[in-house]
Amino acid sequence: MSDRDPLNRQILEGLRGKLNPQTFEDAACDLLRDTFPGLVPIRGGSDAGRDGAIADGEGEAFPLVCTTESDVIGNLTKSLDSYLRDGGTRRKVVLATSQELTPRRRRNLEQRAVKKGFTLVQVIKHRGIADRLYRDAGWRRKLLGLAGTPAALSAVPLSRRPFLDLIPVGREDDLTWLRTTSGDRVLSGQPGSRKVVERLL
């Protein structure tokens, strides 16, 4: 998604502001269901460190932790400690945050999870949440108070297909050209030929 897109800029700016934590949790649970079909929200004070539970058919559902706080690692730590105290048996966790994370902060989160005995399966951060809000007018309005519609020529399809972090193989020259060429670019090709590259740019 292009930072030149006015709606995208508004979403990113909105996520940097003060958010209602419960609304963010509700939005994250709904928006991430495409990626994790077995995800259900867990509301209230007795959630044992879980804001959602992700069923994967391998035993008890594992936790989703959501946070809007700047101390992402502190929130993850408290949530995992609470989950362990409550007798949770799974050792996988997914984290969703409205915060921007540097590669170092992300590594620190992964290391903290390992120290607690968990694998941090996925971190959905600031831009990942923004991408999903871009495609969902209802949650954009509820969470950020933003109306509006995506630009007609958006880099993000309006479909609800999840983004997969798959790198095209054998297309290094093409990807280098896309990354280094300035200005707008149009990709064409047969359906299914992996034209979705916005995450690589």
Amino acid at 63: P
Does residue 50 belong to any structural domain of this protein? yes
Does residue 188 belong to any structural domain of this protein? yes
Q: How much of the chain is helix, strand and coil, in % rounded to 5?
A: 40, 10, 50
Q: What 3-state class would DSSP assign to 201?
A: coil
Does residue 82 belong to any structural domain of this protein? yes
Kind of pairing between the strands at 39-41 and 52-54? antiparallel
Q: What is the pLDDT of residue 80?
A: 96
Q: What 3-state class would DSSP assign to 178?
A: helix
CATH number of the domain that 106 lies in? 3.40.91.30
Judge if 10 and 84 occupy the same domain.
yes
Domain count, the chain: 2
For 168-194, the pLDDT digits (tens) are: 666 777 777 777 877 777 777 666 666
Judge if 59 and 116 occupy the same domain.
yes
What is the pLDDT confidence band of residue 201, given thresholds at 50, 70 and 90? very low
What is the pLDDT confidence band of residue 164, given thresholds at 50, 70 and 90? low
- The residue segments making up the domain with residue 182 are 164-201
DSSP H helices in the chain: 6-16, 21-31, 72-85, 103-115, 126-134, 137-139, 172-180
How far is the C-alpha of 82 from the C-alpha of 168, rounded, in Å? Answer: 40
Judge if 99 and 24 occupy the same domain.
yes
Judge if 128 and 47 occupy the same domain.
yes
Judge if 22 and 50 occupy the same domain.
yes
Contacts of 147 (CB under 8 A, 6+ apart): 137, 140, 141
Does residue 10 belong to any structural domain of this protein? yes
Judge if 108 and 43 occupy the same domain.
yes
Does residue 39 belong to any structural domain of this protein? yes
Cut 0.75: pTM above it: no
C-alpha triplet 9, 198, 103: angle, nearest 5°: 75
For 58-78, the pLDDT digits (tens) are: 989 999 999 999 999 999 999
Q: What is the pLDDT of residue 199?
A: 44
C-alpha triplet 70, 74, 75: angle, nearest 5°: 80
